[in-house]
Amino acid sequence: MNPIIPASANASTVWIAVPMLVCFFALMIGVGIACRKHSANIDSFVLGGRSVGPWLTAFAFGTSYFSAVIFVGYAGQFGWDFGLSSTWIGLGNAFIGSLLSWSILGRRTRVMTQHLGSKTMPDFFEKRYNSPKLKILASVIVFVFLIPYTASLYNGLSSLFNNVFSVPYWSVVAVMAVLTGIYVIFGGYMATAVNDFIQGIIMLVGIIVVVFAVLSENGGFTEAVKSLSESKNAGPEFISLFGPDPIFLFFVVILTSLGTWGLPQMVGKFYSIKDEGAIKKGTVISTVFAIIVAGGCYFLGGFGRLYYSRMSENGFISDAGAVMFDKVIPTMLSQLAPVVIALIIVLVLAASMSTLSSLVLTSSSTLTLDVVKPAVSKKTHISDKKSVLIMRVFIVFFIAVSAVIAMLKDSVWKDSVFIAQMMGVSWGALAGAFLAPFLYGLYWKKATKAAVAASFVFGTGLEIIQLIISVGNIQLNNPVLCFIFKNSLYSGVFAMAGGLLLMPIVSVLTQKTKPGNTEEKFSCYDVKVITNKKDSLG
């Protein structure tokens, strides 16, 4: 197999990339140490004291949303499948996953979570629905499905680092895990938010440079589009408005966009935002960030089929036509200038570390505050200082476990269908279980405990069935079931849609399990506040 990047370009890239990486690593660790004073107690370590401004919150939201999985994996796969119409996925992420998410969830999440005193999503379920059992169940779901999701973040790094630096995959994983762990352990949420802002700037600049570089390599936008439409490996349908498979495209847009509304690491960003002005500004900033980063990634991937010959030469397309999708983007970038490749390496690392830090902080805080602390405090009191220490221990645990899984998947479990599929269903299970209970919990007083439990079971159950079907290669005869379980993207959308339908139906039938003091919980929205005329006509 030929190397993706020629030796001459490889050597030049190393000389440029190494100083950039050293500066990047030093900056990340420096921010973590500088933010130590903001991590003295639980509220500051987990939520930044609920005083984080719009820029930091918006960038934290965006960088947690878009990782190297999207840049290397999804952009390559869906760009190859849909052509330029894959850009709709990025626009859906921007307007549904960011704009609508901030508009519909942002303010109400911030108000009610502070009113209830909840710091995590499972904690919200307990206090909103008066049910410690729901908190435990939600914590288990977070623990089970976030670890494989976290492990998948490392995959986007392997192709670029292996071909530029010729270093083992395990060493790349280890370096990323250690560095992320250092700044999250030292600085908590504030260090994560500041570093997310820096990493977000790198992502913005990187995506813009890469898109222009790839278009220039292909003679500019017009010539690249013409080549794609006339290519024997593509065709006119790959430059059409909705691409060769509009139905599949729709399901991808919905899962990757609406799914963020139910992901604990995403919704958690609203808990910490400072004030009303920060929500308004953050909505705009987050949307623009998503348009550039997500839109740019999928637009770039849409030109992947122009590199069909180069993919074949490197053995990334089998004789049967199977494509190694995680090699599409690296192949597209292989002939670019060394300085551009070096920038891409830092971009991919920044995207991975930002999402990794968000996931491990979410996982550790959930396990500490929602499982360990309630269990231990029945016998003895746990101080804030000790709780923060426990969280730091769990951060190490989550990072270590996800890193080990990523390494094993690359070596011992390289051909394991289970691990790959487990990572695929994680997003759908989390979004399917939590989207409806959280959304209705913020807006509807009649939502019941039984309905929340039904959504949890339905969302995770559907994805577990998907996992069994995929791993066992089970053939379904029923056309409806074949459609629902076509892949984890389809079943993930049905998991979310099913939860949104189940919640009101089950709630109406189970009003006896409606939590008490609902009026008091919703009274936080009726508190009168004084504001300036420029903000409200009153």
- pLDDT (tens digit per residue) in 198-233: 999 999 999 999 999 999 999 999 999 999 999 888
Q: Tell me which residue of 176, 188, 122 sits closest to 345, measured CA to CA.
A: 176
d(C-alpha 176, C-alpha 183), whole Å: 11
Question: How many angstroms separate the Cα of 182 from the Cα of each of 32, 41, 179, 376?
Answer: 7, 18, 5, 27
The mean pLDDT value of the chain amounts to 86
Q: Is the pLDDT of residue 25 over 80?
A: yes
Q: What CA–CA distance (Å, rounded) separates 120 from 205?
A: 33
Residues contacting residue 482 through CB under 8 Å, at least 6 positions apart: 476
pLDDT tens track for 385-408? 888 888 889 889 888 888 888 888
Cβ atoms within 10 A of the Cβ of 376, count? 14
Q: What is the mean pLDDT of residues 35-53?
A: 79
68 vs 78: CA distance, rounded Å = 14
pLDDT of 420 higher than 70? no
| pLDDT tens figures, 480-537 | 899 889 888 889 999 999 999 999 999 999 999 999 889 999 999 888 877 775 655 4
Residues 6+ positions from 199 with CB-CB distance below 8 Å: 59, 63, 350, 351, 353, 354
83 Cβ partners below 8 Å, 6+ apart? 228, 234, 237, 238, 239, 240, 243, 244, 302, 305
Cα 356 to Cα 176: distance, rounded to the nearest angstrom: 9
**Tens digits of residue pLDDT in 158-176:** 656 766 667 777 888 888 8
The torsion angles phi and psi of 224, rounded to 5 degrees, stand at -65, -40
- Count CA atoms closer than 13 A to 435's CA, side-chain side: 30
Q: What is the mean pLDDT of residues 146-166?
A: 72
Q: Which amino acid is at 124?
A: F
Sequence-ordered strand ranges (E) for 336-481: none
What are 460-481's pLDDT values in tens digits? 999 999 988 888 888 888 898 9
323 pairs with which residues across the strands?
317
CB-count exposure of residue 294 (10 Å: 0-12, 13-18, 19+): buried
pLDDT of residue 96: 96
Q: Which residues pair with 273 in a beta bridge?
A: 52
Nearest alpha carbon to residue 180 among 163, 205, 157? 157
Helices 488-509/246-258 angle, 10° precision: 60
CA–CA dist 87, 253 (Å, integer): 10
Count of residues making up the chain: 538
Dihedral sign for Cα 44, 46, 47, 53, please.
positive
Contact (Cβ atoms closer than 8 angstroms) between residue 432 and residue 496: yes
The pLDDT score that the predictor gives to residue 2 is 44
Phi–psi pair at 234, nearest 5 degrees: -135, -110
pLDDT at 494: 94
291 pLDDT exceeds 70?
A: yes
What is the reported pTM? 0.90
* Structural domains present in the chain: 7-411 (1.20.1730.10)
pLDDT at 276: 80
Residue 415 has pLDDT above 70, yes or no: no
- Among candidates 522, 449, 436, 437, which has minimal Cα distance to 111? 522
Token look-up 């953050």 returns 282
Token pair 């919200």 in the structure block, residue: 124
